[in-house]
Structure 1
Amino acid sequence: MVIVTSPTGLRDLKKAATRDALGQAAVRLGKEHGFDTVTADAIAHEAGVSTRTFHNYFSNKEEAVLHHIEESALEWFELLRARPSTEPIWESLRHIAIDLVADPGRDLEDTFAAARLIEANPALMARKLEMHHSLTRRLGEAIAERTGTDIDIDLYPNLLQMAVGGAVTAALNIWMNDPAGASNPKALIESAFDQLRAGLPEPNSRSAGSTPVPEPHSSEHNRGA
């Protein structure tokens, strides 16, 4: 059986590929030459398109650099909406985080390169904070929808989205800063979620990827308490 892809689908894929190429080119040039020296012309040339094409996708170079961060955040929202509605929210978010980290087509170092470039530039950082507020609210709304809560008056969806974001960031920071390269991002993400779900018990070891297990409470101990 031959599957024919619709022209609209092909156009959308091509547009997405061009947008991604421009975003990657902006980060790459910013990292190599300093963001202040990067121009729209240079980004377009690096991506192999015209400057006019660049402006068809982005208003300025700041938007191009932030593209990867924005796409990653929106992907969380879409993937959460696609998970089974009866699945516990923690399991859904854990699956999403692990799948994204384990995706062979995703280069996590590109994400960190973009993050470092943004943090080093005050203008980019300010734009990221504006975008972050909008994107985190969308994820919080999706969590609230799944859990029957209200993001404007309930702590749960707000706390959960911040906890999950912090867990992923902490795990990936350990992985990226591991000089020996012995850590595994997937294992770190799994451990981070396991520790959060266990209520962050005090660790029994100093192993970065280990999940501390709470000490069992015997019936005798409970009676003596």
Structure 2
Amino acid sequence: MSELLGLRDRKKAATRIALSEAAARLARERGIDAVTADMIAAEAGVSVRTFHNYFSCKEEAVLHHLEASVYEWAEWLRERPETEPILDSLECVVIRAVTDPAHDIEEMQALAELIDASPTLLAKKLEMHVRITPVLADVIAERTGTDGATDLYPNLLHMVVGAACKASLDLWASGRTSAANPEEVVRQAFDQLRHGLVLPVR
């Protein structure tokens, strides 16, 4: 019975991912306003009814991979050695994310630009942000002996690292950096965080 339930869960997860990828792909190609649930279902090879079993709207489907990534990052952070300094652990998590062959950096940046340009996607993203913000902050709190619900430190560190990651990828995507790859920019960002964002000497 447990094996059967495990298979069902994997099939459900695969269907959810297929729908989300189809939604993101269509939104990048045509713009979110031109995409419908029917189109997403057809692209993923399932029925519209199946689509609505997994997502309430097309925006939710497009954003699903972002939410899934947060939970994945939380698991990666939990896997790091407990004695490792928290900034080192977070750097390893971010490096793992930007070098993961399963996630194309250019596609991620294209989707980020799509979200920023769409009021409906931005609104849904804000709703999602409120819901999932505690996920990483709570893991950071576990690692640092703080309280994610009441202490500033884990929440501040979570936000700072998120901003560092976004700034690094935005700079890399712009082509205005001499860094050889996104990993190098991320490492530079964490070095600056460790030094308290001291003004660089030129």
Structure 2 length normalisation: TM-score? Answer: 0.89
Report the counterpart of residue 158 of structure 1 in structure 2. Answer: 155
Q: Deviation at 1:32?
A: 2.1
Aligned-residue CA RMSD (Å): 2.0
Report the counterpart of residue 142 of structure 2 in structure 1. Answer: 145
Q: How does 1:1-225 map to 2 (within 5 A)?
A: 6-178=3-175, 183-205=180-202
For 2:72 and 2:54, the matched residues in 1 are separated by 19
Q: Does the Cα contact within 8 Å between 1:69 and 1:111 map onto a contact in 2?
A: no
Unaligned runs of 5+ in 1: 1-5, 206-225
Q: Deviation at 1:61?
A: 0.8
Unaligned runs of 5+ in 2: none
Distance change (3 Å), C-alpha of 1:44 and 1:81? same
Aligned-residue sequence identity (percent) comes to: 58
Q: Deviation at 1:120?
A: 1.6
Counterpart of 1:173, as a letter, is D
Structure possessing the higher relative contact order (Cα contacts under 8 Å, 6 or more residues apart):
2
For 2:197 and 2:42, the matched residues in 1 are separated by 49
Q: Deviation at 1:9?
A: 4.3
Moved more, 15-24 or 87-96: 15-24
Encode CA deviations 1:13-44: one digit per residue, 9 max, x unaligned: 33333222211211221222221221111001
Structure 1 length normalisation: TM-score? Answer: 0.81
Number of aligned residue pairs: 200
Q: Does the Cα contact within 8 Å between 1:175 and 1:183 map onto a contact in 2?
A: no
Max radius of gyration: which structure?
1
For 1:127 and 1:118, the matched residues in 2 are separated by 9
For 1:50 and 1:71, the matched residues in 2 are separated by 23
Encode CA deviations 1:146-184: one digit per residue, 9 max, x unaligned: 111123332211211111001100110011111799641
Counterpart of 1:20, as a letter, is I
SS of equivalent residue, structure 1 residue 106: coil
